C-alpha cells in the first residue's frame, strides 16, 4: 500500500518538473470538480489531508511534507494563488494552471483560507495589529490622521487610498518600512524591529484594507478619491433618528471608548491598541455623514475594538445613535 503512495508522489513530482517544457494544454476539470470544496477533496486532500493539516497517507512519502494550512498564518492569498497556479519547485506541489481556470483557483484558495486557516490567520493579524498600534498609529491613524499628523510637514500616507490604487504590494511595503521615505517623517525601521514584526504588520495592513491590485481601468483617479463627502445625505432606509434616545445609549455604552465629548479619549482608550475614533477632528467632520456613521455602528470595524452593534440593536436604534453622534459631534455648531 505504501508503495502506491510513493508511486503517486513520484508521478506528481515528475509532472511538476516536466510540465514547463511541455506545451500548455488546458484540460477541462472533471464534472465532480464543480465547487471549491470538491476541487480540494478530489485533488488536494491526497497530500494536504482532509483537514488541511498535511496529515495524509501520502505525506510520509513526500519530502518536504505538504503544507499544514492550520498553522500557515504567513501565507497571503496572493502567494497561495501564485503557488497553486505555478507550482512550487523542489516540492511535490505541481502547477494546476492547465487544469483549473484562474477563477476556480481563486475559489479554491479562498476555500482553503476560510476552511482551514482562520485561526492561524487571525493570530498573525492580531500580532500585526499590535505592532501597528505601537509603531505606526500615532502618525497614520486609520486614514493618515494620527495624533501627530497635524504637526508633520508632509502628511502621512492615507493607507486606504494607497491600497485602493494598488500602490502597496508586500515587496513595496517591506521596502518602505525597512528603509523609510526620504524627506518625510517615515523612519527606517530596519534594526529597530525584527523582520517578523514587519511582515506581521504588512499582513495586517493588507487584510485591513483588503489589498487587491485592480486593473488600471478601474483604479480611482486622485481627484475622484479626494472629492468631498456630501454631509447632507439623509439617514439610510428613510429612518429618522431620535438624538435623545441615542445620546442616552451613547453615554452608557460608547463613551467608555469614544469619550463623553466624542474626542476618542474615553477611559478604555488608554488600553486599546487601535484608538477609538475622534469625532471632533477635521477628517471625521468632513467624511462621517449619516450613512457612514450608520454603517460603522451597524457593521463595526474589522481590526479594532468597534463591535457590530447591528447584532444587538435594530435599525431604528442605530439611527438614534447615528443622529446623536452626527448632531452633537460631527455637525455641531461652534459657540460664539
Write out the DSSP string of 139-194. HHTTTT--TTGGG-SSPPP-HHHHHHTT---HHHHHHHHHH--TTSS----BTTB-
Between residues 11 and 189, the one the model is more confident about: 189
Mean pLDDT lowest among 11-15, 46-50, 140-144, 304-308? 11-15
Q: What is the pLDDT of residue 21?
A: 41
How far, in Å, CA of 151 to CA of 309, rounded?
A: 34
Beta bridge partners of 190: 193
Q: 90 or 166: whose pLDDT is higher?
A: 90
Residue 155 has pLDDT above 60, yes or no: yes
Name the pLDDT band for 28 (thresholds 50, 70, 90). Answer: low
Q: What is the Cα–Cα distance from 265 to 294, expressed in whole angstroms?
A: 21
Query: What CATH class has 236-330?
Result: mainly alpha
Residue 124 has pLDDT above 80, yes or no: no
Q: pLDDT band at residue 304, thresholds of 50, 70 and 90?
A: low
User: Considering the domain 120-225 in this protein, what is its CATH number?
Assistant: 1.10.760.10
Q: pLDDT digits over 201-258, tens only?
A: 888 887 777 654 433 333 333 333 345 678 899 999 899 999 999 999 999 989 988 9
User: What are the phi and psi torsion angles at 193 (to 5°)?
Assistant: -130, 150
| Average pLDDT of the segment spanning 29-48 | 81
Share of the chain above pLDDT 70, in %: 77
Q: What is the pLDDT of residue 143?
A: 64
Question: Which of 148 and 77 is assigned the larger pLDDT?
Answer: 77
Find out whether 258 and 318 touch, Cβ atoms under 8 Å.
Answer: no
Domain 2-116 classification at class level: mainly alpha
Among candidate residues 161, 198, 160, the one with its CA nearest the CA of residue 179: 198
- If one counts every other C-beta atom within 10 angstroms of the C-beta of residue 105, the result is 21
End-to-end, the C-alpha distance of the chain in Å comes to 87
Question: pLDDT confidence of 24, banded at 50, 70, 90?
Answer: low
Cell of 122: 487571525
Residue 214: its pLDDT value, please?
A: 38
What is the H or E stretch that residue 252 is in?
none
Nearest 10 degrees: Cα torsion 286, 291, 297, 301: -70
Q: What is the pLDDT of residue 238?
A: 92
Kindly tell me if the per-residue pLDDT of 38 is higher than 50.
Answer: yes
Answer yes or no: are the C-beta atoms of 279 and 330 closer than 8 Å.
yes
Q: Which residue has the cell 502597496?
A: 168
Q: Hey, what's the cell of 183?
A: 524627506
Average pLDDT, the chain: 78
pLDDT value at 115 more than 70: yes
Taking residues 180-209, what's their average pLDDT?
Answer: 85
| Predicted local confidence at residue 219, as pLDDT | 31
Q: Do domains 120-225 and 236-330 have the same CATH topology?
A: yes
Question: 144: closest CA among 109, 83, 190, 185?
Answer: 185
Query: Which helix (H) or strand (E) is 88 found in, with range?
Result: none
Question: Mean pLDDT, to the nearest integer, of 166-177?
Answer: 78
Contact of 52 with 125, CB cutoff 8 Å: no
Residue that is written with C-alpha cell 480611482 in the block: 220
pLDDT of residue 166: 62
DSSP-derived secondary structure letter, 261: T
Predicted TM-score of the model (pTM): 0.40
301: enclosing H helix or E strand: none
Interatomic CA distance for residues 8 and 291, integer angstroms? 57
**Whole-angstrom Cα distance, residue 318 to residue 167?**
36
What is the per-residue pLDDT for 163? 66
Instruction: Return the closest-CA partner of residue 141 out of 245, 30, 24, 273.
Output: 273
Supply the pLDDT for residue 335.
43
Instruction: Give the residue extent of every domain in the chain.
Output: 2-116, 120-225, 236-330
* Local confidence band at 279 (pLDDT 50, 70, 90 cut-offs): very high
Q: Which of 325, 333, 332 is nearest to 306 (CA)?
A: 325
Per the rule left: phi > 0, alpha: psi between -120 and 50, beta: everything else, 331 is: alpha
Average pLDDT over residues 249-270: 90
Amino acid at each position: 500500500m505504501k508503495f502506491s503512495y510513493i508511486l503517486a508522489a513520484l508521478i506528481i513530482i515528475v509532472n511538476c518538473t516536466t510540465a514547463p517544457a511541455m506545451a500548455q494544454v488546458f484540460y477541462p476539470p472533471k464534472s465532480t470538480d464543480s465547487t471549491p470544496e470538491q476541487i480540494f477533496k478530489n485533488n488536494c486532500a491526497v497530500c494536504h489531508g482532509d483537514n488541511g493539516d498535511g496529515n495524509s497517507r501520502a505525506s510520509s512519502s513526500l519530502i518536504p511534507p505538504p503544507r499544514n494550512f492550520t498553522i500557515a498564518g504567513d501565507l497571503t492569498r496572493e502567494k497561495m494563488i501564485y503557488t497553486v497556479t505555478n507550482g512550487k519547485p523542489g516540492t511535490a506541489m505541481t502547477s494546476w494552471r492547465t487544469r483549473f481556470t484562474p477563477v476556480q483557483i481563486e475559489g479554491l484558495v479562498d476555500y482553503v483560507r476560510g476552511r482551514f486557516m482562520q485561526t492561524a490567520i487571525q493570530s498573525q493579524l492580531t500580532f500585526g495589529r499590535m505592532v501597528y498600534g505601537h509603531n505606526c498609529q500615532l502618525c497614520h491613524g486609520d486614514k493618515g490622521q494620527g495624533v501627530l499628523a497635524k504637526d508633520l510637514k508632509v502628511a502621512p500616507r492615507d493607507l486606504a487610498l494607497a491600497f485602493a490604487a494598488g500602490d502597496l504590494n508586500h515587496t513595496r511595503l517591506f521596502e518602505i518600512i525597512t528603509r523609510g521615505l526620504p524627506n518625510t517623517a517615515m523612519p527606517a525601521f530596519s534594526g529597530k524591529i525584527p523582520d517578523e514584526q514587519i511582515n506581521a504588520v504588512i499582513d495586517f495592513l493588507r487584510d485591513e484594507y483588503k489589498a487587491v491590485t485592480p486593473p488600471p481601468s478601474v483604479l480611482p483617479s486622485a481627484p475622484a478619491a479626494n472629492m468631498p463627502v456630501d454631509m447632507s445625505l439623509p439617514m439610510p432606509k428613510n429612518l429618522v433618528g431620535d438624538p435623545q434616545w441615542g445620546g442616552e445609549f451613547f453615554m452608557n455604552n460608547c463613551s467608555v471608548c469614544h469619550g463623553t465629548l466624542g474626542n476618542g479619549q474615553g477611559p478604555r482608550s488608554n488600553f486599546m491598541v487601535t484608538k477609538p475614533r475622534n469625532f471632533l477632528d477635521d477628517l471625521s467632520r468632513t467624511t462621517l455623514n449619516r450613512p457612514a456613521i450608520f454603517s460603522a455602528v451597524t457593521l463595526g470595524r474589522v481590526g479594532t475594538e468597534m463591535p457590530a452593534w447591528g447584532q444587538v440593536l435594530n435599525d431604528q436604534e442605530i439611527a438614534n445613535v447615528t443622529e446623536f453622534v452626527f448632531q452633537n459631534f460631527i455637525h455641531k455648531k461652534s459657540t460664539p
